[in-house]
A and B are shown apart, each in its own frame.
Chain A
Amino acid sequence: MLVDLPGGWSPLLGRLAWSQIPYANPILAPLFVAVVIGAIIVLGLITYYGKWTYLWKEWLTTVDHKKLGVMYIIIGLVMLFRGFIDGLMIRTQQVWAVGPHSSGVFGSLHGYLTPFHFGQVYSAHGLIMILLAATPLLVGFMNIIVPIQIGARDMAYPYLNALGLWITAAAAALIMISLFVGDFAHNGWFEYAPIFEMQYSPGVGVDYWIWTLQLVALGTTLGGINILATIIKMRAPGMSWGKLPIFVWASLSANVIALTSFPALQVALGLVAADRYLGAHFFTAGMGGNLMLYTNLFWIWGHPEVYFVILPAFGMMSEIFPTFSEKPLFGYITMVLASMAIAGVSWLVWLHHFFTMGAGPYVNTAFSVATMLVGIPTGVKVFNWAFTMYRGRLTFNAAMLWAIGALFLLLIGGMTGMMLAIPAINYMVHNSVFVVAHFHSMLLVIVYAIFGSVLYWFPKVFGFKLDEFWAKTMFWLFSAGTALVFVPMYMLGFMGMTRRLEYVFNTGWQPYLDVMEFGIVVYTLSVLAFFILLYVSVRDHAKNRVGADAWGTSRSLEWMTHSPVPFYNFAVLPHINERDEVAWRRQHGIDNVRPEHYEDIHMPNNTGVAIILGGLTFVLGFALTWRIWWLCIVSLLAIIVLMIVRSFRGDPGYIITGAELQRMEEEAYRREAQIADSHHSHPVSGGVVGNAMAYQRNDSSK
């Protein structure tokens, strides 16, 4: 053995032992029982209704970019929920454990989480929220929307797309299982050297962290390659770069970042693994290691990563604002330039995450100025959205509210970012809850944009709108929660409260922590409102059906095909005449032209290989974490063999004949006509094909 393993090791089970299962933990043990019961019920229901074949054929083996996107979004929402629970636990610990006289339970001196558990909770919270909630949600939307917006039938590499999804799912599963088997990392979502070395983190937590991150990085890189190739090669005839929908530009810039930055993370993690598994000394304090190198490598990825997640969110906002302002996006070209500028500059600023490391003033000022440069294109974007509303006709439905909320949060996050960018200010608030409040403002921009997009694109994917009343209720509750949690957090930052305190030593901070706890309760209500929103919308879905153009004022290509989008997207690939093609066709009265005849089209086959490979990567990650070497070898070999076999077989795909296509299309048109009819017979409560009526209905429902 190259490194000493405290706690023993066996050839069969590696470091795994009964003592690693927290069956005596008063929080985890009941949770585990609940999860098992829940799983049994779900599996039982699937079996009872005989849905296994449906699931396997329609979802688990699919290569349809829309279904994969939906599954990405489901993973993202589930992880968002998990991350939220972590957040709730963090806030509850901090509001409880204030001052030397606060009580303690479950083995803690103060509060209910010991440092051992508290560290795991906030580390998991950060990692999950950024990489397993925000990232899959955004990748999911890019997956669904990008091909339709550019008039393609699928991604450039449908099988790779499925593989990316299942590897991401494996990562999510790995971090979830760390709840019940062993422990997770303790030292924050970015860990840091040398505290993640074996001497200071002897458990398996850091190993879980390494392999979870490696899997996410792999999955996201594969996804990035795919989206880039799709945008570059699969655009419909006539769609020159100047006519690319703005969300596609945003996805392009984001994935350029992903493709170039994730490898840096993977290398860094590889070196961490070398330290922990092979006894190397890349990042140790002694023996020639350089711990600052890790910090640099991590943020060389870490900063571009935050722009990788914000750029698609900007793209979403740039779609929502014009639709509900009934006007083209202001300054399309500057918007594109701004995205590209952000992507470029995001490479030059990583050092602002550690101004306090003691680099000289020349280094710090260089990175400070570079960081502030990012503020320029970001500011441009905000102005452009404002001028998109200018001279518009604004409808404040729920999707628009989320987008506007995102805009205001961006102003706050941008303002505080510009404060942090100046070393003379940063020295005072770095590592404090002020930073935490800054990046939550920014990440909430993403969350707001995502909820706006869920509302905005839901009818496209599922064919009916979500309930406006509950969507708005959720929005206002969520926003109240945001204000109640993050305003006090900024104030605490100015009071000097540092981050990651398991025990809060200053009793003067108690009132602010109380307000934040109340804010979390309000957030919880908004989560409830979200569940009600889903329930009510599905219950009433027949009433809320929509036609191709769900909003009546939509602009880009995805609104030209049916809702829900057929699996082949477009029966006949459209020719693109204008930047906002649908708006242009509507204006010229040719939005209802039907193709004269249909030709055969070629589609990719489903494959079970992707999910099996995903499963194997999970096994590999688990075996590596626990150092079960035989299992590592077996799963790795299986992965390699399966990949080679699949690459020789390839996928010939299959043909849908023109006649069959025509039948399906006519079916869809009939459905749309019915929606229109039902609208005429029930003018008030009925669903409508997108037209101006839809807005009046929304307004009166307030």
Chain B
Amino acid sequence: MPQVTIDNKKVEVPNGTLIVEAAKKVGVEIPVFCYHPKLQPVGMCRMCLVEVGTPKRGKDGQIELDANGAPAIAWMPKLQTACTTVVSDGMTVRTDTAQVADARRAIVEFLLTSHPLDCPICDKGGECPLQNLTMAYGPGQSRFPVESKFHNAKRVPLGDLIMLDRERCIQCSRCVRFQDEIADDHVLGFAARGRGLEIVTLSDPPFDSKFSGNTIDICPVGALTSRDFRLSARVWEVRDYPSVCAHCSVGCNILIGERDHAIKRIVPRENASVNEIWTCDKGRFVHHFTVAPDRLTTPLVRKNGNLEPATWNEALDLVASRFKEIKWHDPNAIGGLAGDRASNEDLYLFQKLFRQVIGSNNLDHRVGWSVTNTGADSVRVYGAGVGTNLGALDQNVTALVFGADPEEEQPVIRLRLKRSARTFGANLIVANGRVTKLAKYAKQSLVYQYGAEAYFLLGLIRAILDERLENRDFIATRVQNFDAFATSLEPYTVERCAEICHVKPEKIRDAARQIAQSPNFLILYGREAMFAQQNDVAVARALAALLLITGHLGRANNGLVALYPHNNSTGAIDFGVLPDGGVGRTRVERRGLSAREMLGRSNERPSMRALYVMACDPAADGNFVKPEFLVVQDLFLTETARLADVVLPAQSFAERDGTFTNTERRAQLFRAALKPIGEAKPDWWIIAEIAKRLVSGLQFQVSGSQVSGNLKPETWNYATASAVMDEIAATVSLYKGMTYAALAENVKLPRPRSGQGNPSEQPTEIAMGELENISSGKVWASVAESDARAKFELVWSEPSRPLTADSRPLTLAVARSLYDGGTLVSKTQIVQARVPAPFVEINSQDAEQLGIADGARVRVSFDMRVIELDARVDGHVPPDAVLIPNNLDGTAALPMGARVKIEKV
């Protein structure tokens, strides 16, 4: 490792380190504008100039010594850019000389010749590197007359979300490089040159990227500002609260910037294991629902057929008394549906209320078309090892991304997998029924036929066994039932499987070789794979078998990652909001009814007498029949709430404390930022209040006999959300020790800003990701990890489709788009233009056969439904499949895998 001396401080750094990075190690600050640790250096701004020298060598190649016996230094004749110069052994750097100070002063003065310096009206003012570095290194005065300043366009919209001020731009190209290198959406560029150099957007619609908001953060000046936050507060006036994004299952760490009891802006908070320093635009901009005027503000009770405002006591008493009455007849006539958007505390208590107080196992969180959430047991057993970082998988890792579309469903995971593949050389194998954006980064992109997923996986397994690449040691010691499994697999040759799933046998063999021979192997499976698992248990078994025969589990970078649709799907499974799964992913003895069974079909009599619906909207999917007594607890008057007997207003994630567990099983803490809207209460409080009322009545009923611990009202006294988590941390083994204090460890707090705290202690350049890599939150360990001697069983199941290749009719594939017609998105005006118009995508072969041209209006019929849509003809879907994004205008609750008919209108 080369040793360098920077301002007389010696430091050893790895080969290839840049001088700026080496300087940080010894606490020397080198000011930068264009350099960013997450981006490739370009040396555009020259702010980082330093004096650099290397040891002088004589003709014989020996290092010459000076009079004192120290190596003589050959100083380079001119200053060098510290952000592009790589250190070498013996290099000496000086940053504290007059020459360097002069250069910095000149660069700042030069930048300011064409800078408007309208800091008082600039959104960056207060956290602006240009401001800070001017104060620290710039001249107090300019020699250029202010009238000769160069003026340029000041209010240039770059799309709906971002505003560009061309005058303020210092042409550092951070935004362009972010789009090219990190987001890989090449939508920004430079036009013209010299003084005319401008940032332009090259895409239509303008700035078409799901990550555009990040350029606001990394722009070192106020050239790129958020059209949402724009001019609505000064940055030092917004108070930052650490939180976790509640939109998707990535669980990006965020800071909620609050002023006047409203969210002014959301910026990412650093967490190297989750979102680095980024978020997607949905997480950043879709927050207006928290203060939407139609939020529920008081409990509502149905009186004379109308929902009318009521007090909390009235509403809660009514719920408790009706539950009590129905429970008296039959506890199993009460069912609970809790959405997987609620926090862990809420879900835990919801389940506790049903199992321990009401005595019913009719519980489910899988409400709504997209929430299939399969594989709870597999993740418990084979879940990817603690320490897996999806953004830093290297060439020793092969990752199979199966049936997932992270670009639309977990955007930041797409970003991180891209980084793993492009920067660290991870080997991605992307397999899906269609081509997704992630396929671009894959060494192999495989498109199978929807419905034949099991054959694809069996083909991989068979190819591994054929070439004797299985991990025989692991199988011998840890795996049971291998021989029987291999025998059952006998008829499934790679060729047969390939024929059925429409992937070429060579490709299957090639992928199988990579999987088996790679030192580490991860499977990430997404929503489309979950649908497949729901229809065919062979898919889940084959996924497990793939891990077992190769022995890839129980270590970091090995095992299974389920890419769930919502922010707390993992939590909903962990805390047993399932008819057959208990707290901590255990099994319950007496299986209850699933959501599907509870809701029944239209025209059927509902099987439940009472339903408690929390944070989900089953009526939105149609076919909902109101039971005798319906309680809905939500933020808005949803379609289900309109039918309810009692509506209880809940608080949004921004008004309360709580924890979410992300898709990688990482529990993360979020803090209240806003004051409650109206009389809304946190979900956990409402559940506990209902429980207390139920329990105090029940005590009378069982008086004389033993009152069990959970039937005492005192056991339902929770003062705060953290008290609920304390109980979880003490009683649920998966979450052992995960108290709020433990989850708050390492949480990176708000960036210091000018005017806050002691100025002498503040770094002048505060770019995120510069100072250290921070990781917070806690991941629970899977069985394979925590028990090094656990034995696993290979279970065979026959694929549900017979072993013949038939030509299938058109199958419906359902996609999700990041911005859809959901309630939360609909409250944010500025993203509305990004919600796509509904369409159906058809393969060009099928389109030709059917005589459908691109853009034509078509009628799509399936499952006794007919919808009219515009057709898109391209190569993203394979033949025999049509793709419709769900939850856009008129496309709710589409049945994945249904047979469809398409005709021209």
**Does B associate with A?**
no
